[in-house]
Amino acid sequence: MNSDIKKELEKRILVIDGAMGTTIQQYKLEEKDYRGKRFSEWPKDLKGNNDLLSITQPQIIKAIHKEYLKAGADIIETNTFSATTVAMADYGMESLAYELNYESAKIAKEAVAEFKKEFPEFADVPKYVAGAFGPTNRTLSLSPNVNDPGFRAITFDELVEAYAEQAKGLIEGGSDILLVETIFDTLNAKAALFAIQNVCKEKNIKMPVMVSGTITDASGRTLSGQTTEAFLNSISHVDLLSVGLNCALGAKDMRPYLEELSDKAPFFVSAYPNAGLPNQFGEYDQDAHAMGHEVEEFLKAGFLNIVGGCCGTTPSHIKRIAEIAKVSKPRKKPAPDTLMHLSGLEPVTLRPESNFMNVGERTNVTGSKKFLRLIKEGNYEEALSIAKDQVDGGAQVIDVNMDEGMLDSEAAMTKFLNLIASEPDISRVPIMIDSSKWSVIEAGLKCVQGKAIVNSISMKEGEEKFIEQAKKLNNTALLLL
């Protein structure tokens, strides 16, 4: 079942289901329903912990999956948007993370099996379970404290660990696809993708992976500040099944960004917008008919391979969208190019006609005495102003080097790059992480959401070691000097 989804996507547009949360609301569940028998004594409020319903009210979750399958969904998402140790900490339920993912995938698989039994005419039509990874409530590229822009509430490694546990549960529960969705911060998504790669490698399996970002408003950027193309460049190191957008915007407002992805992405393209924009009460009013018109417009334009709905959408929305998808042609992928695509908050493409790339070299402790002094003194504010001057002066990439015997280079690299991330005037350009030490390069890569360049890797530890390390860094362009 896993391997045939690419073939299916060549033939037709696949439909992904609608919102789980909106549909759960219609059941008007109370605190006691969320708790069930097992958590009746739990010390924290549990109402609103929708993922928990996979354990306490599995029949409801399964019924919703079946509603969407009946409406015409080809892909149903597991009820696991917040099922990581990180997001479950709000309820003190970190220890349930694996079980939530495993059970949710299992319920979705059962829903597919029961649906096929009830509707034998669909016995041979493939239906897929997508194990869903949400963004969590902590971001790697942003500080929750305005007075301390270099602070992070979580580390890359902690997030990788949480996502790896989620990946295990989703895979072992039977997911056919993995879906990293509602991406506010591309660095969080990179942590999820890295965790997925590690788990698949450990299990010696291949899983189709979908990625879906979220453009938060009319500025056309993610919450962490990236444009659509910059986001695409950041995640293109993985051999994805699809890339797309979901949530935050209605179909109409999502259109320009989908057109851009459709033009540029070397993968299949997906979209599952909200049912319009929320009203003053935070509810979604756009009905299936109205949403259908907006979706029809870009399906007819040939932008998509996978389509569905996010917040506010119900089985009736999905039914209408499925009817339109059925009579629309799937998007054809553009021919892949071999250009070097980089990104900070904005994309940079190195083209043959551009003879050189202007790299700012002043934020390099081995090249600038002033920069070295500032870092040694801990004067990061002034050190940042050097980076800003470089970008203002036309640098297309900034080189950051902390290789100095007297410095804790890993710590200095981490601190400086985290500070750069909170300065959009600097972080709009890609970063060149410059070090002869793998540990410093890795520390740096864990701080950049864009697609970076790694500079100055030496092969003095031998070719084998080099190849092994280079494989770990596959989300970067390598520059050998």
State the minimum distance, in angstroms, from the CB of residue 79 to Zn ion. Answer: 14
Place of tokens 């599952």: 272
**295/372 with CB nearer Zn ion:** 295
User: Within 13 Å of residue 384, how many CA atoms lie on the same side as its CB?
Assistant: 19
Q: How far is the CB of 109 from Zn ion (least distance, A)?
A: 24
Residues 277, 311 contacting (CB under 8 angstroms): no
Q: Which is nearer to Zn ion, 311 or 365 (CB)?
A: 311
As a whole number of angstroms, the distance between CA 407 and CA 443 comes to 14
CB of 310 to Zn ion, least distance (A): 3
Binding residues (CB under 5 A) for Zn ion: these are 247, 310-311
Contact 224, 447 (CB under 8 A): no
Q: How far is the CB of 135 from Zn ion (least distance, A)?
A: 11
Q: Which CB sits closer to Zn ion, 179 or 387?
A: 179
d(Cα 82, Cα 24) in Å, to the nearest integer? 15
Provide, rounded to whole angstroms, the least separation between the CB of residue 223 and Zn ion. Answer: 13
Specify the residue, 215 or 445, whose C-beta has the smaller distance to Zn ion.
215
Backbone angles phi, psi at 270, to 5 degrees: -125, 155
Report helix, strand or coil for 414. Answer: helix
- Of 309 and 347, which has the nearer Cβ to Zn ion? 309
- Residue whose CB is less far from Zn ion, 215 or 383: 215
Q: Which is nearer to Zn ion, 77 or 410 (CB)?
A: 77
Report whether 399 contacts 455 (CB < 8 A).
Answer: yes
Least separation in angstroms between residue 37's CB and Zn ion is 31
- Residue closer to Zn ion (CB basis): 214 or 364: 214
The tokens describing 308, both together, are: 């569905």
Query: CB of residue 247 vs Zn ion: minimum separation in angstroms?
Result: 3
Other CB atoms within 10 Å distance of the CB of residue 30: 9
Q: How far is the CB of 161 from Zn ion (least distance, A)?
A: 26
Q: What's the token pair of residue 368?
A: 């600038």
Q: Which is nearer to Zn ion, 184 or 380 (CB)?
A: 184
Question: Which value, to the nearest 10 degrees, does the dihedral of the CA atoms of residues 280, 281, 287, 291 take?
Answer: 50
Distances (CA, A) of 6 to 183, 211, 260: 23, 15, 22
Q: What is the DSSP string of 320-372?
A: HHHHHHHTSPPPPPPPP---EEEESSSEEEE-TTS----EE-SSBTTT-HHHH
Q: How far is the CB of 15 from Zn ion (least distance, A)?
A: 16
Six-digit token string for 48: 């609103």
Compute the C-alpha angle 430/434/435, nearest 5°.
150
Sign of the Cα pseudo-torsion (438, 386, 138, 80, in order):
negative
